[in-house]
Amino acid sequence: MATENTEARQLAAIMFTDLVGYSALTQRDEKLALALLEEHRALLRPLFQSHQGREVKTLGDGFLVEFASALAAVLCAVEIQQALARRNRDAAPGRQLWLRIGIHLGDVLRQGGDIVGDGVNIAARVEPLADTGGIALTQQVFDQVYNKIPHALARVGKVELKNIQRPVEVYRVVLEPADAREAPPPRPAKPGQQRSIAVLPFVNMSAEPENEFLSDGISEDLLNAFTRIEGLHVAARTSCFAFKGRNEDIRKIGEALGVETVLEGSVRRAGGKLRVTAQLVNAADGFRLWSDSFDRPMQDVFAIQDDITLAIMAALQLRLTGRDGQPLFKLATSNADAYELYLKGRFFWNQRGVGLKKALHYFELALIEDPGYALALSGLSDSYSLLSWYGYLPPAESIPPAIAAAQRASRLDPRLAEAHTSLGFCQLCHHWDWDGGKREFHRAIELNPRTVPARYWLGWTYSCAGRHEEAIEQCRQGVELEPYSPIAHAFLGWMCYHAGQYDEAERQLRKGVELDGRFVFGFWLLGKVYAALGKRELALASLRMAEETSHGAAWTRCTLGHALGRFGETGQARDILADLQDVDKYGHVRAIGVAMVYLGLGEREQALDWLEKSGGQRDVWALMLKADPIYAELRADQRFAGLLGRVGLEQ
């Protein structure tokens, strides 16, 4: 046994506590701060002893405590927060005590009555990651307690801690409202004043990582439900999902997204059972306004989402516009199996690339379960449309099912903005019906003014027709709605590129690739901008990055081939040219891609021959013949003018 003058190593559960706001209070009212500090110490010390914890020392306004087991440390921490919550209910706002607690299980070196080592350092670094009034744990503690306490544990993720070599997996204890800090509800909004909320992606706590589609889907659908609440501004989906997997302070997230409250949570699925935990946090100070957990069968997923939405409304003292007494969370299906398959489809659709074919599969399965599921039909149409846009499927295979699904979705639910966006894309890109496409995009925006896809495709429509100012304005509004969306910045950069505003195009596209370091579409467009500016090294580097991250997709390689030809790398350009005509490799020959490489090589007649073939294929990229600067050298050619006429564009 170690004595006061010996050293010994042992495994211990280490707790650090911190009295929130104590330093600021000391500057304002030192006498009150000292009184509250002593009261807090008197409250905590008996609780340490009741759980066999040893107070190692005080550290300013906090404690360093060791326990023989991780379970004892966590149960003690929960009891501390419960006791403080009860005390705070009757305390004046300026006399409330809020604590953060961090716990780690690790090796410590005992030096007399003190303990030191990495175990102590990690516990100290984890404590600030706890919510105000909350508890943060490391993976080592989680492994010991996850099935032994009555509280959910929400995964924060891997966190880089100062002076700790490896990232540390961190969890938070989800305390019930009676246990945790309950901030006073915000005052009712004044007339004309908007409440605001961001919904962060819920953490997948299931044993199977592939259940991430469910946690993402529940988060996104809650966000959509909140948009129907009067007086509530909701941060856009892509802006919220930009913080997925990042360990950011809630206050910083709230400031970045311009919201006053943040909803976060976790989803755990085990067989047919579902556990959803959620908490609403005041972004200004980290106060928890509400929290709860829901244990239900998977079939009750809609009721869970409705209950969460109702609770958020009550916490923010808001009401639903014109729907008193009706369910808040309305989906296009009541079939939970169809809903789950739809969420899988949407998850893979958001990944683009090869994920589009997986999305197609799951949307089709969802429609087998519920043939009248309008959202799944819209997703099916969008999957076929993008498979055509990227050239993964020839137009002859993708156009008919895309049009049929979009038309049926809009008939089933004429007020579904997504269905009108899908139909607008089909009208424009498959029928080459410019007026019909614009009409559907405008209708989608009318139904949902916060929709961004309809805005950027409407902008693209204007841009292809040479109406660059209107195009840029639509896409600028998209960036305002979704400032953390790589795709929104990419579309604005794209429209600026078409307008010849290359500096602004570069600025927007760089924002897009900064937000997502593997954003294929952004690197592809950035390479086109650099090529237009004559910046050889930057153009080729960006286009090679697009080729690499798309796994050698033909749509990125044809643009790279054009740039290589233009910059004199004719051998490499011709290699790509031959490759693009390999039917066995790509499934079909995309004529417009071949034409682009010939154009880069300066072989105009061959380029025009293949462009005319692309018109016969009804390739969606043919709609950019008037707008894309790479075709500028052909615009005086009579064959090119005839091709523009067939596409519906005026010279």
Residue 48 shares a structural domain with residue 157? yes
225-237 residue pLDDT tens: 887 777 788 888 8
Q: Judge whether residue 325 has pLDDT over 60.
A: no
Q: Judge whether residue 277 has pLDDT over 90.
A: no
- The pLDDT, as a whole number, for residue 493 is 97
Residue 146 shares a structural domain with residue 24? yes
Classify residue 137: in a domain, yes or no.
yes
Residue 374 to residues 405, 408, 551: CA-CA distances in angstroms?
9, 8, 33
What's the CATH code of the domain at 289? Answer: 3.40.50.10610
pTM score of the predicted model: 0.68
Residue 53 shares a structural domain with residue 136? yes
Average per-residue pLDDT for the chain: 87
- The pLDDT, as a whole number, for residue 287 is 76
- The pLDDT, as a whole number, for residue 320 is 46
630-645 residue pLDDT tens: 999 998 899 999 999 8
The mean pLDDT of 276-305, rounded to a whole number, is 83
Closest to 466 measured CA to CA, from 256, 624, 235, 272: 624
Classify residue 523: in a domain, yes or no.
no
Q: Which domain holds residue 142?
A: 7-174
Q: What is the dihedral of CA 580, 638, 530, 575, to 10 degrees?
A: 20
Most confidently predicted of 196-210, 271-285, 481-495: 481-495
φ, ψ of residue 282 to 5 degrees: the values are -75, 115
Residue 165 shares a structural domain with residue 205? no
- For the chain, percent of residues with pLDDT exceeding 90: 51
- The pLDDT, as a whole number, for residue 178 is 41
Classify residue 2: in a domain, yes or no.
no
The mean pLDDT of 20-43, rounded to a whole number, is 87
Q: Judge whether residue 179 has pLDDT over 50.
A: no
Residue 38 shares a structural domain with residue 165? yes
The mean pLDDT of 571-588, rounded to a whole number, is 92
137-165 residue pLDDT tens: 999 999 899 878 888 787 776 777 777 77
Reported as a pLDDT band with limits 50, 70 and 90, residue 271 is confident
The mean pLDDT of 563-586, rounded to a whole number, is 94
- The pLDDT, as a whole number, for residue 7 is 67
Classify residue 537: in a domain, yes or no.
no
Crossing angle for the helix pair 336-349 and 212-226, nearest 10 degrees?
A: 100
Query: What's the residue count for the chain?
Result: 651
Classify residue 400: in a domain, yes or no.
no
- The pLDDT, as a whole number, for residue 6 is 55
Residue 83 shares a structural domain with residue 54? yes
- The pLDDT, as a whole number, for residue 509 is 95
- The pLDDT, as a whole number, for residue 184 is 44
The mean pLDDT of 314-319, rounded to a whole number, is 68
Looking at 174, 209, 244, the residue that finishes a domain is 174
- The pLDDT, as a whole number, for residue 280 is 87
- The pLDDT, as a whole number, for residue 8 is 74
Q: Judge whether residue 360 has pLDDT over 70.
A: yes
Give 299-302's long-range contacts (Cβ < 8 A, gap of 24+). Answer: 299/272, 299/336, 300/274, 301/218, 301/274, 301/336, 301/339, 302/329, 302/331, 302/334, 302/336, 302/339
Crossing angle for the helix pair 434-447 and 417-429, nearest 10 degrees?
A: 170
| Cα dihedral across residues 537, 541, 544, 546: positive or negative | negative
Greater pLDDT, 529 or 248 = 529
Reported as a pLDDT band with limits 50, 70 and 90, residue 111 is confident
CA-to-CA distance for 309 and 286, rounded, in angstroms?
Answer: 20
Residue 162 shares a structural domain with residue 295? no
Looking at 268, 289, 311, the residue that finishes a domain is 311
Classify residue 307: in a domain, yes or no.
yes
Domain tally, the chain: 3
Residue 65 shares a structural domain with residue 33? yes
Looking at 289, 311, 333, the residue that finishes a domain is 311
Collapsing DSSP to helix, strand or coil, 587 comes out as: coil
- The pLDDT, as a whole number, for residue 323 is 42
φ, ψ of residue 463 to 5 degrees: the values are -65, -45
- The pLDDT, as a whole number, for residue 243 is 84
- The pLDDT, as a whole number, for residue 517 is 83
Neighbours of 358 (CB within 10 A): 17
Residue 397 CB-density burial (10 A; 0-12 exposed, 13-18 middle, 19+ buried): middle
- The pLDDT, as a whole number, for residue 3 is 47
Reported as a pLDDT band with limits 50, 70 and 90, residue 410 is very high
- The pLDDT, as a whole number, for residue 132 is 77
Reported as a pLDDT band with limits 50, 70 and 90, residue 105 is very high
The mean pLDDT of 214-241, rounded to a whole number, is 84
Residue 46 shares a structural domain with residue 161? yes
Classify residue 480: in a domain, yes or no.
no
CA-to-CA distance for 368 and 345, rounded, in angstroms?
Answer: 13
Residue 49 shares a structural domain with residue 169? yes
Lowest mean pLDDT among 89-98, 378-387, 415-424, 538-547: 89-98
Residue 219 tokens read as 């988060």
- For the chain, percent of residues with pLDDT exceeding 70: 93
Reported as a pLDDT band with limits 50, 70 and 90, residue 574 is very high
DSSP 174-234: E--TTTS--PPPPPPPPTT--EEEEEPPPEE-SSSGGGHHHHHHHHHHHHHHHTTEETEEE
CA-to-CA distance for 109 and 171, rounded, in angstroms?
Answer: 25
Residue 61 shares a structural domain with residue 205? no
Reported as a pLDDT band with limits 50, 70 and 90, residue 650 is low
CA-to-CA distance for 257 and 526, rounded, in angstroms?
Answer: 26
- The pLDDT, as a whole number, for residue 552 is 93
CA-to-CA distance for 577 and 589, rounded, in angstroms?
Answer: 11
φ, ψ of residue 440 to 5 degrees: the values are -70, -40
- The pLDDT, as a whole number, for residue 371 is 95
The mean pLDDT of 500-513, rounded to a whole number, is 94
Classify residue 439: in a domain, yes or no.
no
CA-to-CA distance for 121 and 161, rounded, in angstroms?
Answer: 9
| Backbone region of residue 487 per phi and psi (left: phi > 0; alpha: psi in -120 to 50; beta: other values) | alpha
Residue 219 shares a structural domain with residue 167? no
What's the CATH code of the domain at 24? Answer: 3.30.70.1230
415-428 residue pLDDT tens: 999 999 999 999 98
Residue type, 236: A
